[in-house]
Structure 1
Amino acid sequence: MKRRPTAPVFKPYVMHQASLLPRSYDEVIEPEHLVRVVSAAIDKLDLRPLLAQYKGGGTSSYHPQMLLKVLVYAYSQKIYSSRKIAKALRENIHFMWLSGEQRPDFRTINDFRGSRMKGVIDEVFAEVLEYLLEAGKVKLETYFVDGTKIEADANKHKVVWAKRKNRYQQRVRTQIEELLKQIEAENEAEQAEYGEKDLEERGGGEGGSEIDSEKLRERIERLNQRLRERQQPKRDTQAKRKALKKLEGDCLPRLEKYEQQTETLAGRSSYAQSDPDASSMRMKEDRGAEKPWPKPAYNVQIGTEGQFITGFSVHNRVGDPPCLIPHLEQVRHNTGGRLPQRIVADAAYGSEENYAYLEQHGAENFLKYNTFYQDTHHYRKAEVLRAHQFRAEHFTYDQQTDTFVCPADKRLHFQYTSRYITENGYESTRQTYECFDCAGCLLKPQCTKSRGNRKIRISFRLLAYRRQARSNLTSPEGQRLRAARSTEVETVFGHIKHNMNFRRFHLRGLEKVKTEWGLVSIAHNLRKLAA
């Protein structure tokens, strides 16, 4: 006997069902959910610096504690757009619980992130760091530091380059000089006024400086005044007026534009037109590309301990070495004026200036330098070993005679001392030594490519710092820290770029970008804390 098929059974599904006692959002969120960790952590922070951004009176505002919770949780969920955050506040139950069902629009969220948080992100991050210290997650004893490039919110094809600007600026100055010569050649009064002197604008006056827009504007005004006062032939007046019109309508605006660009560059090699604080940098993600194109970006420096971010800073300098001291100064500000006991970094940071800073503040030196690997590894290839022995720091120094002895047993004698000043204002000295007996030396092709004698520039202070760093890094503690560094900072950068999908800033300007990276750092720390 065949059995009759059983009908499927479904749970009741009734839309628009009324409920006498609506459920609380608190009941449907897991006890250990990340949103609870974010809320509990920010509840314990001292937010008085943030509250001070609000003036008294007027229309009531959304509470900054709620907005900060929403922003940090949004960043932890890879939501960075203010419109998408506002959408989540309307649709996502975790955001609704976190905001107490308040629904600020995207303009309010963007204003809070870009204006209210700007200038206080360091204090908020310092409070999060204090929270991690109290929880025993970090001790601030060892500080692993490294940097990466994060793309700016700017058009990579609209960039002002310093070299190109300098070339165009010089071209305009040359054109101005020619027009002024043309005018002055027809003006007998100028010869009576200047005599054998050249025009001030061309460097022949008392100041001897290059022409600038202010001097040119004054010159144009004086020439226009003379044309109005003096009676000259019509043809002569028209020629001068034509030259003056070109100076005033074409050359002067261009000169002012280039001067403004020089001020914005502030010593940098480039800046983006849509975000003047961003500089063009080569991105790590573009390595291996057929035609890698530099992109407007920021140089982000972080320090970690236990893969928690314990310090951060944002720079528009391309290189890492000059960023370390400003970064550590920011760390001192966040930690009440003290540095971690040990600073560990890769070879990019091993400069004399950085070594001197660590010595000044009593931090242990675990910074690699650019030839650390060659100094501590034995090569099998004979040609590499030979090249290694011809480096200046491996020459034998005779202190009594103040000379260096090269591998050919020839002496290099002291010649002069040079002084250098870094971007941060640190002054260093280099002593130059030269060998006067290189002619006919069989080892010269391996020693130098110069046609003349071999010269070396030595900083004895830098050599001493490198010996100290090498001793620290090759000790058992140094070997452990070197092995840990690669898994500390690189893991954090990988988590932020890949897991949190943060590869590009969404705000413009150095201060706003710093605020956004501070939110990313706080979100990363709380994600790790919840895990």
Structure 2
Amino acid sequence: MAHHILGQSRTQTTLFPEALDDFVTEDNPVRVVDVFVEGLDLETLGFERVVAKGKGRPGYHPAILLKLYIYGYLNRIQTSRRLEKESHRNIELMWLLGRLMPDFKTIADFRKDNRKGIKGACRQFVEMCRQMNMFTDSLFAIDGSKFKAVNNKSKNYTPSKVQFHIDRVEKSIQKYLSQMDSKDENEKESSNTVSASKLAWLEQRLIELKALEVEVSEHPDKQVSQTDPDARLMKTHHMERQVCYNVQTAVDTKHHLIAHHDIVMTTDRGQLTLVAKQVQQAMKNKDIIVIADKGYFSRNDIKASHDLGMTVNVPQTDTSGSAKKGIFNKSLFKYDKDKDVYICPAGETLQNRFRSKEKGVEQDVYFNNVACSQCEIRAKCTTSAKNEVRRMRRWIHESIIEDMQKRLDDNPDIPVLRKQTVEHPFGTIKMWMGATHFVTKRLESVGTEMSLSVLAYNLKRMMSIMGTTGLMEAMMA
């Protein structure tokens, strides 16, 4: 033992006890949490019990519990019971909370009762970053990712799944009844023993499934999640189906800070304008550039975003089935903007004949009856009857899509930039959350959890960019 570093005796007393502040270095991230929360106007943000009542048992100030949660999410400690345990043994938390040790019920109730305040604190940090000129490029990548809910896939039911279970139970009941009939005919056969309790359970299960079938058919989304009613069965990145929430984020391409986040229960399509509009409001700037993947491609959505003053870059999806049919794709028909006509692969001109409206989209229809009926390569152009012609449909705002496609063609690195930007925060947050991402149920509670995760992520990013002491100085300036 003489050649090893020796520890201090556990029974050793000191004349002057160490101060708790001595155990927390000046550049410790816990000091950033303390400075950030102390600078917030908690009452304005919507936190409850900021002003204590003059009677009754005193409660904890919301700043104490907010510090506890932010510290927890920064250090992958998300449950109230684990936070309670850490407050009893963690030196950093003892310093941060002033040796207060709230119980798990108080900790859990704070997150449940202060959803508005927690989301406000997350937005306030984004505003603080904006004031520090962290979003000067005004270029944001938007994407969605599926985060697992508490609800297991076995507790989620769709019409086909309910019918599968009903058929399975009915077959089992029929099998048991057949065995009972066989036993009555030949009582000596010991192999056909039937459990009456098992049969009763199956009959009760069938009644439950029939009731569940009605519930599923009456549900707007045609599916029911029994553990977390708000969670939905969705396809994940690897085309697997999981009960999830679809988290939308807009991430700054320069510093990878999350400027806005939201949770939706549908696919990414149709979410572009909703997310981008919130980014405009958060940045107090309409002139922003947005990039997204082809899952967000929607003509009406892109038009709405364009009308709001932003520049949108979304790759166009080719949903045409022409290639499978063995006929010319629409891309082979060239549009002449000056003459407002299409030139077909045979070199003929297709004039603008009339305007129609399909599924809420106004389109101009182009065709040439004479040229098409006499065309030698007509079989490669259309599979319709001889008296019908190939018609080209052009959205009346198609120029917006064409301009967007030209920007994408001129800047082939845009898709790579989007992936490098938006996948980083998702991967980091999911790693922090663990295998089961959310620990709470229902959309409002899950939204609060996500706000805490985003706030912790943005804090971590800012500390990496500016350093802990530099960030604290900027906060107090």
Q: Please say whether Structure 1 and Structure 2 have the same fold, judged by a TM-score greater than 0.5.
A: yes
Q: Residue 308 of structure 1 aligns with which residue?
A: 257
Is 1:417 matched with 2:356? yes
Q: Residue 471 of structure 1 aligns with which residue?
A: 406
1:225-262 CA-partner distances (Å, limit 9, x unpaired):
xxxxxxxxxxxxxxxxxxxxxxxxxxxx9999767546
Check conservation: 1:126, 1:335, Cα contact below 8 A: no
Distance 1:155 1:12 in 2: 48
| TM superposition shift of 1:314 | 0.6
Is 1:28 matched with 2:23? yes
Distance 1:411 1:9 in 2: 91
Alignment of structure 1 residues 411-490 onto 2, 5 Å: 417-420=356-359, 427-431=360-364, 443=377, 446-447=380-381, 458-475=393-410, 478-479=411-412, 481-490=414-423
Q: Percent identical across equivalent pairs? A: 25
Check conservation: 1:77, 1:500, Cα contact below 8 A: no
SS in 1 for 2:115: coil
| TM superposition shift of 1:504 | 1.5
Check conservation: 1:395, 1:407, Cα contact below 8 A: yes
Q: Residue 324 of structure 1 aligns with which residue?
A: 272
Change (3 A) 1:405 1:16: same
- Which sections of structure 1, spanning at least 5 residues, go unmatched? 1-5, 169-252, 375-382, 421-426
Distance 1:522 1:514 in 2: 12
Q: Give the aligned residue type for 1:471.
A: K
Change (3 A) 1:257 1:280: closer
Change (3 A) 1:458 1:65: farther
Check conservation: 2:83, 2:104, Cα contact below 8 A: yes
Check conservation: 1:146, 1:303, Cα contact below 8 A: yes
Distance 1:416 1:138 in 2: 43
| TM superposition shift of 1:483 | 4.0
Check conservation: 2:381, 2:390, Cα contact below 8 A: no
Is 1:351 matched with 2:283? no
Check conservation: 2:127, 2:282, Cα contact below 8 A: no
Q: Residue 133 of structure 1 aligns with which residue?
A: 130
Alignment of structure 1 residues 492-507 onto 2, 5 Å: 492-498=425-431, 501=434, 504-507=437-440
Q: What is the aligned counterpart of 1:298 among 216, 223, 245?
A: 245
| TM superposition shift of 1:325 | 2.4
SS in 2 for 1:281: strand
| TM superposition shift of 1:396 | 3.8
Change (3 A) 1:109 1:407: same
Alignment of structure 1 residues 150-161 onto 2, 5 Å: 150-161=147-158
Aligned-pair Cα RMSD in Å: 3.9
Distance 1:165 1:457 in 2: 44
Change (3 A) 1:275 1:430: farther
Is 1:280 matched with 2:233? yes
Q: Which has the larger radius of gyration?
A: 1
Q: Give the aligned residue type for 1:512.
A: S
| TM superposition shift of 1:140 | 6.5
SS in 1 for 2:451: helix
Q: Residue 37 of structure 1 aligns with which residue?
A: 32
Distance 2:7 2:269 in 1: 66
| TM superposition shift of 1:46 | 2.9
| TM superposition shift of 1:21 | 3.4
Check conservation: 1:142, 1:341, Cα contact below 8 A: yes
Q: What is the aligned counterpart of 2:144 among 140, 147, 151?
A: 147
Change (3 A) 1:270 1:366: same
Q: What is the aligned counterpart of 1:529 among 453, 457, 462?
A: 462
1:457-505 CA-partner distances (Å, limit 9, x unpaired):
6342352121110232344xx4564443222111222222236647511
Distance 1:71 1:473 in 2: 42
1:95-141 CA-partner distances (Å, limit 9, x unpaired):
2211111111111111111x223233432222101221233333371
Which deviates more from structure 2 when the two are superposed, residues 139-148 or residues 437-446?
437-446
Which deviates more from structure 2 when the two are superposed, residues 156-165 or residues 95-104?
156-165
Distance 1:298 1:50 in 2: 26
Q: Give the aligned residue type for 2:158.
A: W
Change (3 A) 1:97 1:411: same
Change (3 A) 1:33 1:14: same
Distance 1:411 1:340 in 2: 39
Q: Residue 98 of structure 1 aligns with which residue?
A: 96
SS in 1 for 2:313: strand
Change (3 A) 1:407 1:81: same
Distance 1:100 1:462 in 2: 61
Check conservation: 2:46, 2:116, Cα contact below 8 A: no
Distance 1:308 1:506 in 2: 24
| TM superposition shift of 1:428 | 2.3
Check conservation: 2:328, 2:380, Cα contact below 8 A: yes
Alignment of structure 1 residues 41-120 onto 2, 5 Å: 41-50=36-45, 52-54=47-49, 57=53, 58-113=56-111, 115-120=112-117
| TM superposition shift of 1:362 | 0.7
1:157-216 CA-partner distances (Å, limit 9, x unpaired):
122325678999xxxxxxxxxxxxxxxxxxxxxxxxxxxxxxxxxxxxxxxxxxxxxxxx
TM-score, normalised with respect to structure 1: 0.67
SS in 2 for 1:368: coil
Which deviates more from structure 2 when the two are superposed, residues 59-68 or residues 428-437?
428-437
| TM superposition shift of 1:43 | 2.3
Is 1:406 matched with 2:354? no
Q: What is the aligned counterpart of 2:13 among 6, 13, 18?
A: 18
Q: Give the aligned residue type for 2:273.
A: I
Q: Residue 342 of structure 1 aligns with which residue?
A: 289
Distance 1:331 1:45 in 2: 22
